[in-house]
């Protein structure tokens, strides 16, 4: 499988006029190698060209992982003395003849640490943005990838269901977040979860990216829980909003509106439809209800090995959906200093529509 992925990358490099691409530990490297490397103080860089075997610069302690590669690759190891690390990078550049060539980089992933070593080894090279050459590699998921994402969704849902009976008025957002993390691990999530759960209640729920605080849950709060699990490196990203005790009529109303907007967004996706249409479908519901100005973000984003990746569900994105693309549908309404609601599901585009991977109840549920 990874050999086929490598071929896809080398073909893309040719298409985009790149002589090579350099990748450090992260989703793209893991996707291509089928091997997990850590981002750390010791630089690790994979050099890929269209017509030569890849070269991997890595610390000696990582050499046992070379046996895990499914295709031929040359390793250039280095020891613990940082003064010698540059020699390994110069050797890699010389083997591949890259000085003076076009070496693509991942701007959101390649750190200055690795870039400086590569640039010192190939000072005459150009370093263009390789985003376009890499964008299509992970965009469409195959059956094995979708199965792992489906498992990540189940782990996440089971973990939250196990946490709900523990929710009590008076517990803090941080306490609830901690309980949820424990349940994620108990139910089988990878040790590296996709993101720290967002647990926000009452006024804090009006901040879409709130961090859990010492604020205690109070009767009348809406409680937003945005969480996810990881399984073999593939993630889920879900949100449900609960009522802490009895909530007022407006809280019930905005929850119902967001629930309807979420349903409209899920229904809008199918092959050949622009990403913009998914955003427009959810936004129309909220705008017609009179709460349009309180929906302050795009409807969704792609998911897979990263929490946020292509494609993006926003109203100016005319990229067409294709089978295998996976994304979130997460409309929200945020009433500043009062309360907030978000409902988020994970979907995958099929040949005829979308498969919704998440099925946890979306109706308002009372906790506490």
pLDDT at 3: 87
105 shares a domain with 11: yes
Q: Is 148 helix (H, G, I), strand (E, B) or coil?
A: helix
Are 39 and 52 contacting, i.e. CB atoms less than 8 angstroms apart?
no
pLDDT at 135: 86
Picking from 105, 111, 114, 110, the residue whose alpha carbon sits closest to that of residue 134 is 105
| Eight-state DSSP code of residue 305 | S
* Domain end residue (candidates: 118, 135, 152): 135
165 shares a domain with 58: no
237 shares a domain with 198: yes
Picking from 358, 362, 368, the residue whose alpha carbon sits closest to that of residue 155 is 358
> What is the torsional sign of CA 292, 297, 298, 300?
negative
* Tens-level pLDDT at each residue, the chain (368 residues): 578 999 999 999 999 999 999 999 999 999 999 999 999 999 999 999 999 999 999 999 999 999 999 999 999 999 999 999 999 999 999 999 999 999 999 999 999 999 999 999 999 999 999 999 998 899 999 999 999 999 999 999 999 999 999 999 999 999 999 999 999 999 999 999 999 999 999 999 999 999 999 999 999 999 999 999 999 999 999 999 999 999 999 999 999 999 999 999 999 999 999 999 999 999 999 999 999 999 999 999 999 999 899 999 999 999 999 999 999 999 999 999 999 999 999 999 999 999 999 999 999 999 99
* Domain end residue (candidates: 89, 106, 135): 135
Give the tokens for residue 355: 């498969």
Are 201 and 335 contacting, i.e. CB atoms less than 8 angstroms apart?
no
* Domain end residue (candidates: 135, 169, 184): 135
* CATH number of the structural domain spanning residue 111: 3.40.350.10
pLDDT at 231: 98
How many structural domains compose the chain?
A: 2
33 shares a domain with 170: no
85 shares a domain with 150: no
The neighbour count for residue 239, using CB atoms within 10 Å, is: 25
118 shares a domain with 152: no
199 shares a domain with 168: yes
> What is the torsional sign of CA 334, 337, 339, 342?
positive
Q: Which domain holds residue 79?
A: 2-135
95 shares a domain with 74: yes
196 shares a domain with 339: yes
| Eight-state DSSP code of residue 219 | T
Cα–Cα distance measured from residue 168 to residue 170, given in angstroms and rounded to the nearest whole number:
6
Cα–Cα distance measured from residue 323 to residue 307, given in angstroms and rounded to the nearest whole number:
19
Cα–Cα distance measured from residue 16 to residue 260, given in angstroms and rounded to the nearest whole number:
42
186 shares a domain with 68: no
43 shares a domain with 99: yes
125 shares a domain with 207: no
Cα–Cα distance measured from residue 147 to residue 99, given in angstroms and rounded to the nearest whole number:
42
* CATH number of the structural domain spanning residue 360: 3.90.230.10
């Amino acid at each position: 499988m990874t050999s086929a992925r490598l071929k896809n990358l080398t073909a893309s490099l040719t298409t985009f006029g790149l002589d090579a691409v350099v990748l450090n530990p992260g989703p793209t490297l893991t996707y291509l190698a089928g091997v997990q490397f850590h981002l750390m103080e010791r630089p690790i860089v994979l050099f890929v060209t269209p017509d030569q075997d890849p070269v991997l610069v890595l610390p000696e302690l990582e050499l046992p992982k070379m046996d895990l590669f499914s295709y031929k690759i040359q390793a250039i190891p280095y020891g613990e003395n940082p003064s010698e690390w540059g020699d390994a990078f110069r050797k890699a550049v010389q083997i591949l003849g890259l000085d003076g060539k076009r070496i693509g980089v991942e701007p959101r992933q390649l750190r200055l640490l690795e870039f400086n070593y590569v640039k010192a080894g190939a000072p005459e090279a150009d370093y263009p943005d390789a985003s376009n050459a890499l964008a299509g590699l992970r965009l469409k998921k195959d059956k094995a990838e979708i199965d792992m994402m489906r498992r990540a969704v189940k782990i996440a849902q089971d973990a939250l269901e196990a946490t709900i009976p523990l929710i009590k008025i008076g517990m803090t957002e941080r306490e609830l977040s901690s309980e949820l993390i424990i349940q994620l691990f108990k139910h089988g999530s990878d040790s590296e979860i996709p993101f720290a759960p967002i647990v926000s209640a009452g006024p804090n729920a009006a901040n879409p990216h709130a961090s859990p605080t010492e604020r205690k849950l109070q009767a009348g709060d809406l409680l937003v829980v945005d969480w996810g699990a990881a399984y073999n490196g593939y993630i889920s990203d879900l949100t449900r909003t609960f009522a802490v005790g009895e909530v007022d009529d407006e809280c019930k109303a905005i929850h119902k509106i967001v629930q309807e907007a979420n349903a409209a967004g899920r229904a809008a996706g199918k092959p050949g439809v622009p990403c913009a249409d998914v955003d427009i479908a959810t936004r129309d519901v909220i705008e017609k209800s009179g709460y349009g100005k309180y929906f302050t973000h795009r409807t969704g984003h792609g998911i897979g090995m990263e929490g946020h990746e292509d494609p993006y569900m926003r109203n100016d994105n005319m990229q067409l959906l294709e089978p295998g693309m996976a994304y979130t549908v997460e409309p929200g309404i945020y009433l500043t200093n009062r309360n907030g609601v978000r409902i988020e599901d994970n979907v995958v585009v099929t040949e005829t529509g979308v498969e919704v991977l998440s099925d946890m109840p979306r109706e308002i549920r009372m906790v506490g």
